[in-house]
Structure 1
Amino acid sequence: MEKQNNFIGGRLTRLPPGFRFQPTDEEIVFEYLKCKILCLPLPASIIPELPLSLFDPWDLPGDLEEERYFFTKKEAKYRRGSRTNRTTSSGYWKATGTEKHLSPPQNNLGNITMKGLKKTFVFYRGKSPNGRRTDWFMHEYSLLLNNVLPRSNHMTSSIHHQVSFSN
């Protein structure tokens, strides 16, 4: 597979050779997403922000062979509804499995309680409910403060393509 553009908005989105970005689920939520939502400095400016609904998974910036991370804002599916839009021009992301609850290592925000959520999605080509399942997976991370989603509605997504080998 060929490498994709590694710049978004003039910013480098790849680490130098020899460096790896392999955060745990808890680090993504409580180190990166928390800082993004609370407008605090990020530990590293490696996760770009972009509207995921404008990109099919194979068109996202970055190396197709690597797991890629993005900040994105939740976009309402319906004007007056609370459901999130996860459709693209070629298909849609469908939830699979159960959501995983994440706990912070320690809460240094005083009386604010934090909890993280991780949901897994699979990309389907075509329109629901007749789409064809693909090998593209997305892990969506959300942060709840005092058991409520913050007004900023930021979330982090980790997208990767599952490579299958058959004889």
Structure 2
Amino acid sequence: MATGGQALNRPTLPAGYRFSPNNDDLIVYYLKRKVLGQQLPADIIPTTDVYASSPNKLPLGGEPNEWFFFSTRSKDDDVIELDGGYYAIDPEGAGPITWEGKTVGYVKTLNFYKGSSPDGKETEWMVEELRVNPEFVPVDNDDRSTQEKIENLVACRVSRVQPETEWYEYFDEEIEKEAKRGKFEIPASLLEE
């Protein structure tokens, strides 16, 4: 398993191709096969401990603002405390994942906050955590190893979401920058109230 910030030797896709699977594809073609030890369609998702550090210390590469990892995580943790921050589940970002009319897995969204729980400051980082539905994976009751993978192995889509800026905020910032550089004069009539 790679540690935070360490570069990974990732396979690359041919020019013009982009890895951007939807949730049901991640469950059906990647996570389920990983759990069962089967060959993946493309060996493009690295395994790392996503929750061991803040997202900006993950071995990121590939598409800007969206990365994929296999990781492990207990179902029971609603908050994961780290040094300097924590992950917390967004109750509105949870639900089933269906494929061909069957529930094949579940998704939870975890937001990353700086500071201490519950008073931290939300950052632009979020993790969509996908877990396979145990009923979707054929496994013998005696196969404890596979059952543990079903319970603990997750696929994670790590995203960096840029905060939305109101259109007028952009102009306010630009006017301020230009005024500081002396390139733009604000008429006195606009400054007086």
Measured against the shorter chain, the TM-score band is 0.7 to 0.9
Task: Please give the alpha-carbon distance, in whole angstroms, between the structure 1 residues aligned to 2:39 and 2:101.
Answer: 19
What is the SS of the residue equivalent to 2:133?
A: strand
Query: Do the aligned partners of 1:54 and 1:89 also contact (CA within 8 Å) in 2?
Result: no
TM-score w.r.t. length of structure 2: 0.67
Relative contact order: is structure 1 or structure 2 higher (C-alpha 8 Å, sep ≥ 6)?
Answer: 1
Query: Please, which runs of 5 or more residues in structure 2 have no aligned partner?
Result: 138-145, 171-193
Query: Number of paired residues?
Result: 150
Query: Do the aligned partners of 1:32 and 1:42 also contact (CA within 8 Å) in 2?
Result: yes
Query: Do the aligned partners of 1:67 and 1:158 also contact (CA within 8 Å) in 2?
Result: yes
5 Å matches for 1:11-160?
11-12=9-10, 14-63=12-61, 65-75=64-74, 82-83=76-77, 86-96=80-90, 97-105=92-100, 115-146=104-135, 150-152=147-149, 153-160=152-159
Matched letter for residue 89 of structure 1: D
Q: CA RMSD in A?
A: 2.8
Segments of 4+ moved more than 6 angstroms: none
Relative distance call for 1:6 and 1:105 in structure 2 (3 A) is farther
Query: Do the aligned partners of 2:78 and 2:89 also contact (CA within 8 Å) in 1?
Result: no
Query: Please, which runs of 5 or more residues in structure 1 have no aligned partner?
Result: 77-81, 108-113
Matched letter for residue 53 of structure 2: F
Task: Please give the alpha-carbon distance, in whole angstroms, between the structure 1 residues aligned to 2:81 and 2:11.
Answer: 24
- How far off its partner does 1:150 sit? 3.5
Task: Please give the alpha-carbon distance, in whole angstroms, between the structure 2 residues aligned to 1:6 and 1:23.
Answer: 24
- How far off its partner does 1:106 sit? 7.5
Q: Which has the higher helix share?
A: 2
Task: Please give the alpha-carbon distance, in whole angstroms, between the structure 2 residues aligned to 1:53 and 1:62.
Answer: 14
Task: Please give the alpha-carbon distance, in whole angstroms, between the structure 2 residues aligned to 1:66 and 1:101.
Answer: 24
- How far off its partner does 1:12 sit? 1.5
TM-score w.r.t. length of structure 1: 0.77
Structure 1 window deviating more from structure 2 (87-96 vs 26-35): it is 87-96
What is the SS of the residue equivalent to 2:156?
A: strand
Asked which structure has the greater CA Rg, the reply is 2
Query: Do the aligned partners of 1:14 and 1:62 also contact (CA within 8 Å) in 2?
Result: no
Query: Do the aligned partners of 1:117 and 1:141 also contact (CA within 8 Å) in 2?
Result: yes
Matched letter for residue 51 of structure 1: D
